[in-house]
Amino acid sequence: MPRNAFYAQSGGVTSVINASACGVIERASQAKEIGKVYAGLNGILGALREDLIDTSKETKAAIRQLRMTPSGAFGSCRYKLKSPESHPREYERILDVFRAHDIGYFFYNGGGDSQDTANKLAQYSQKQGFPITCIGIPKTVDNDLPLTDTCPGFGSVAKYVAISTLEAALDVRSMAETSTKVFVLEVMGRHAGWIAAAGGLIKNKPSDPPHVIVFPEIAFDPIVFVNKVKSVIAKEGYCVVVASEGAQTAEGCFLAESGVSDAFGHAQLGGVAPFLVDLIKRELGLKCHWALADYLQRAARHIASKTDVEQAYAVGASAVESAIAGHNAMMVAIERLSNAPYRWKTSLVPLHKVANVERKMPRRFISKDGFGITQAAKTYLEPLIHGEDYPAYKSGLPQYATLKRVLVPKKLASAGF
């Protein structure tokens, strides 16, 4: 008899993670090896709390519309499972729930921590004599997973940041003679500057914005930064800065760390833009404006990259195909075959080689002065933002999926998670 599957979304969501969910559900519905697909309500917490959404209760049209819908349609969470050795109760509970609902496949859609969880569960279930086929599905706007050419979610954020930088730059340039001289856009990126680098896609000649990009990979020196801004103002009359939230000093201290950590143990960041604006005002006395892209950059499905949407769907569908082919403890990766034309395919990489490993921007992608990107970076980035994949509109607004999210009747007592 076919066994059921469990799909969960983890961590910060993206504008295309639901396209991966669509890929999983649509492909699984065609597989005779898989019965029902249950989705975790609020990610892995759905497994711990036995909150399982029966996706078969949704219409085919609603599932298809997920491809066009931002956010996490089934709910996500920041909950990191510890090791089975130190916290066996979590893993025991998940297996109990999976046994109760005859679940033999686990598809975990997330970043490095999520791939770590999928790998641990694969190993633990084997030892317990109830093997679960675990396949990781990549997702992160930070683009920092190793062994994959790119991460679904990044291409759309890159497109949003590039367009926002372009449009804001035109605004500042038009006002610079008598008003704002400097504009700073703060974008996501904890330890890797991929998103900030995307702003550089609009720069085709030295005078073009962004004039300064602040990367986590380049130690921030306030004197060098201020002098750079000053020289740009003298030459161009205005200055546009794109800054990563993960910008840090040579000592490894974040410029804007709140002192709060999330559930994964990561420092809560935010506030680089006002930090830089205060520095510029204090040292140069210039009028500045700043903006925080924050959730807007990862929620903007209306301007998603077509390449990104297609890849997000493909990794979801490929995860199912890999599982029924007998693969286990693997993550679906994207492999670049050529740049021009841009061609790619999905492949598999071992979860243990992906888990908790961050891929940063290579130095060859960053200009010698540390404030821009190279042609090599452009060659890598440009194909990822290509194409438009607009959702349907009604009365001027995009139409996104609204799911019923019908829960399966519980068979176990609450475990207190």
- Enumerate the active-site residues: 142
**Chain centre distance of CA 171:** 29
Nearest to 259 by CA among 249, 251, 267: 267
List of residues 6+ apart from 237 with CB closer than 8 A: 173, 176, 177, 181
**In 3-state terms, what secondary structure has residue 51?**
coil
Tokens of 355: 């888990």
Tokens of 76: 């996500």
On the CB side of 149, CA atoms within 13 Å amount to 25
Cα 86 from Cα 124, distance rounded (Å): 13
393: left (phi over 0), alpha (psi -120 to 50) or beta: beta
The answer to whether the CB of 209 falls within 8 A of the CB of 169 is yes
Nearest to 408 by CA among 50, 22, 75: 50
- CA dist 189 → 46, 243, 256, 297, 308 (Å): 28, 9, 12, 12, 18
Instruction: Quickly count: other Cβ atoms within 10 Å of residue 66's Cβ.
Output: 26
**In 3-state terms, what secondary structure has residue 72?**
coil
**Chain centre distance of CA 388:** 19
| Orientation angle between helical segments 17-28 and 306-324, nearest 10 degrees | 40
- CA dist 182 → 232, 278, 288, 307, 322 (Å): 10, 11, 5, 33, 50
